[in-house]
Amino acid sequence: MPYCVHCGVELEHSQRACPLCTTPVIDPNNPWTETADPAHPERVDTAIDRIDRRYARRLSKLLMLVPMLTVTLLDLLGSLQLTWSPYVTGALICLYCWILVPIFYKFDKPYTYVIIDILALCLYLLLIALMTDGMGWYLSMALPMLLLIGLFVLAALSIYRRIQLSILYRNALFLLLMGLFLIALEVLIDLAADASVALNWSVYAAIPLGVIALMCVYIERHVALKNEIRKRLFL
């Protein structure tokens, strides 16, 4: 059985290049022969890919309605008014958005899933605030924090999907984004707590993130150092 001369991966005679590092396979004693079934297929079919999504969406909605109607009926029979069932219904809707929507609904861009998840959580917490007379904490802390988290996730996705830079530069941007996110988070918490800002823990967390980001930039700009690290780590 041949092995890749670059990374040591075990190879099949049906392979013209290493499936891991793409190094060309040249073996005079065992010339390449084409086979019907490649040793390492490029695409693996999963059960999710074969699901009838339209039927699955209808079935999942029907299955969601059963516990929703059940808890609502029990709540009405117990107190003749809705007291606790809206919490259960809202939680089920959130779980549907977080778990089943990514499986049964296929959007071209992942940003849509993030927006749906954040919107579902915002509405659920709004329901809790309305039922508990807690619009104060919702408007001052919960809603701004959720929007901040949503913007952070969308920005992080944009860094790794849209920006055409090397992976180290993108990692550096992500680390800087993380530092800014922590600072903004502390600002929101301070404003909600006592209407004043006194940066403390977020700065201590942002400084090492900035240092690591500068290290990523330094390594990317020094090709010899970068190649040596890749060689040592077998990357």
Q: What is the largest CA-CA distance in the chain?
A: 84
Res. 52 pLDDT band, cuts 50 70 90: confident
For every residue of 98-158, DSSP letters joined together read IIIHHHH---SSTHHHHHHHHHHHHHHHHHHHHHHT-HHHIIIIIHHHHHHHHHHHHHHHH
CB 108 within 8 A of CB 91: no
pLDDT (tens digit per residue) in 115-142:
999 999 999 999 999 999 889 999 999 9
DSSP state of 24: B
Phi, psi of 133 (to 5 degrees): 55, 50
Query: Whose CA is closest to 42, among 7, 6, 15?
Result: 15
Q: How far is CA 131 from the centre of its chain?
A: 31
Tell me how far apart the alpha carbons of residues 104 and 52 are, in angstroms, rounded to a whole number. 9
Res. 76 pLDDT band, cuts 50 70 90: very high
Res. 32 pLDDT band, cuts 50 70 90: low
The whole-number average pLDDT for the span 57-84 is: 91
pLDDT: which is higher, 78 or 8: 78
pLDDT at 43: 47
Task: Judge residue 232's burial from the number of C-beta atoms within 10 Å of its C-beta, 0-12 exposed, 13-18 middle, 19 or more buried.
Answer: exposed
Least confident range from 47-61, 71-85, 93-107: namely: 47-61
Tell me how far apart the alpha carbons of residues 161 and 55 are, in angstroms, rounded to a whole number. 31
Is 215's pLDDT higher than 80? yes
pLDDT at 41: 47
